[in-house]
Structure formats: C-alpha cells, structure tokens
A and B are shown apart, each in its own frame.
Chain A
C-alpha cells in the first residue's frame, strides 16, 4: 500500500527488496495544506483587525 501511494520506493537487491521513504508525496500534501493554512491565518488576522477597528 505504501508503495502504491509512492510513500516508499523499493529496489531489488538479490532476493530482498530494499525500501526507502519517498518524501515527495508527503511534501506535496504538506505544500497543499500550507496554502490553506496560510489562507486562514491571514483571513482570521484580517477579520480580527476589522472587527476590532476603532
């Protein structure tokens, strides 16, 4: 499952299969979420400024 999700990459070494963590998809998820995180951080900051103006 991890391999299908590309969260690990594998290399055959003789009869064994060596797995390494592939950070790329997770970084993609993190980057995607970061956009939303930044949006809400900025928006709530602006909302606070607007509601507390005067």
Chain B
C-alpha cells in the first residue's frame, strides 16, 4: 500500500452556508466507514481542551437516532440527530443538531471513495448559515448559537 500524505482540508462556503472537508486516508472504505458509524467517534471528534466527545450512541439505520455528548471548554454539551442515508462503505448522511438549541438541524454527508492505497473521505456539512441568520433575528437565540460557535472553535496552537 503506497503511503497517502494528503492531510485534512476544510473550507467554508459563505454563500451556501456549508463546510466542505476532505482527507485521504491509508485505510479501506470499510475501515473508514466503521470509524464514522461506531463509538470510534469518541476517538476523533476530539480537540483536547476544546471539544471532547465522551459518549456516542446510535441506531445506525435510516431513521435511527444518534447522540454524542461530552465536555467543551468545561461545559457539558450534547449533539444529536438521525440517519438519513446509510450505505456502507460509500455514503452516510445524518442530521446534526445541538440538543436544546432552536432552529432546524444541519446535515452532514460523508462520501467515501476508494483511491489507490486507501480512501478519500469528503464531508459536506450544510444548512449552517440559515441558522445564523435566524439567530440574528431572535435575540434569545443568540446565546446558544454563540456558545456552540465557541465550542466548535479551535485556537491555533
């Protein structure tokens, strides 16, 4: 297996309010899919000291619910949603929402493509900016959005 050196890249699309992230992994699509849809999430939805996922539970089938919880900057948080598409090892689509926050959930789509020596994983996280526009209208909503934004933000090391 040839070594894959391309690191992770993530870009924000301000017009469509979405994130597109991509990484090439020296692992089979089956192996990568397992990491996306199992408690392995706990090992990589992590940014030490900023965003630590401690628990992940899910009913991995179309319509099944998932929930992740942990500690972010000293405060507990929970993310939840449901699976819209489950097509191993090619595609996984799930809604994504901070528990207790107003607004509609965003959507995370994972695409797995086999490449020489591994897998190209693309993440498309859409439906984000709409929430922000709403948060600008409802003052009561502002705090939770700001807090989630703060939770998700990382500081340069």
Contact = CB atoms under 8 A, between A and B. Distances in A.
A21 interface: no
A34 B125 CA distance: 12
Given A26-B14, A37-B19, A52 B26 contact: yes
B136 interface: yes
Give the dominant DSSP class at B's interface: mixed
Interface in A1-54: 5-6, 25-26, 28-48, 50-52
Given A39-B47, A41-B8, A41-B10, A29 B133 contact: yes
B155 to A, nearest CB: 9
Task: Name the interface size band of chain B.
Answer: 35 or more
Contact of B152 (A5, A26, A38): A38
Interface in B6-37: 7-14, 17, 19, 21-23, 25-27, 31-32, 35
A47 B40 CA distance: 9
B153 A38 contact: yes
Nearest to A38: B154
Nearest to A26: B14
Given A41-B21, A44-B21, A44-B23, A32 B123 contact: no
- Chain A interface mostly helix, strand, loop or mixed? helix
B12 A34 contact: yes
Nearest to B50: A42
B151 A35 contact: yes
A30 B11 contact: no
A14 to B, nearest CB: 31
Contact of B123 (A6, A25, A33, A44): A44
A47 B4 CA distance: 14
A35 B7 CA distance: 19
Interface of B: 4, 7-14, 17, 19, 21-23, 25-27, 31-32, 35, 40, 43-47, 51, 121, 123, 125, 128-129, 131-133, 135-136, 145, 148-154
